[in-house]
């Protein structure tokens, strides 16, 4: 989220491009949502910080701690949802993979 061309939000949840002050789009929002989802699923942030500037740097330069290690109890399908990628082109286009519908007749 930006306000008057200044980043707004906590560095723990900012996309790399937002932390750099670069333009953001829906992929940036998806990245931030991925950080929130990661924390909800594992109880931990994907990076250790501890200072705000450390989070901003880690989002730009490091891969997140694998969700399998942060929350080994998660099902395989949940682990496949990984929108936290430093580079926007490497993030998924959809927030979740398309799962087969239960409404379809087999």
Instruction: Please say whether the structural domain 9-85 has been given the CATH code 1.10.510.10.
Output: yes
Which tens digits make up the pLDDT trace of 41-80?
Answer: 889 999 998 998 899 899 999 988 888 888 887 766 565 5
Peptide bond into 100 cis (omega under 30): no
- The pLDDT assigned to 12 comes to 93
Of the candidates 50, 44, 55, 51, which has an alpha carbon nearest to the alpha carbon of residue 14?
A: 55
- The pLDDT assigned to 9 comes to 82
Pair 59, 45: CB distance under 8 Å: no
């Amino acid at each position: 989220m930006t306000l008057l061309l200044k980043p707004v939000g906590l560095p723990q949840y900012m996309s790399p491009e937002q932390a750099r002050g670069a333009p953001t789009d829906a992929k940036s929002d998806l990245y931030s949502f991925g950080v929130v989802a990661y924390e909800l699923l594992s109880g931990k942030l994907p990076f250790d910080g501890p200072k705000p500037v450390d989070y901003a740097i880690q989002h730009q330069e490091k891969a997140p701690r694998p969700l399998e290690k942060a929350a080994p109890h998660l099902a395989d399908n949940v682990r496949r949802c990984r929108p936290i990628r430093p580079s926007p082109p490497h993030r998924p286009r959809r927030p979740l993979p398309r799962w087969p519908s239960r409404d379809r007749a087999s």
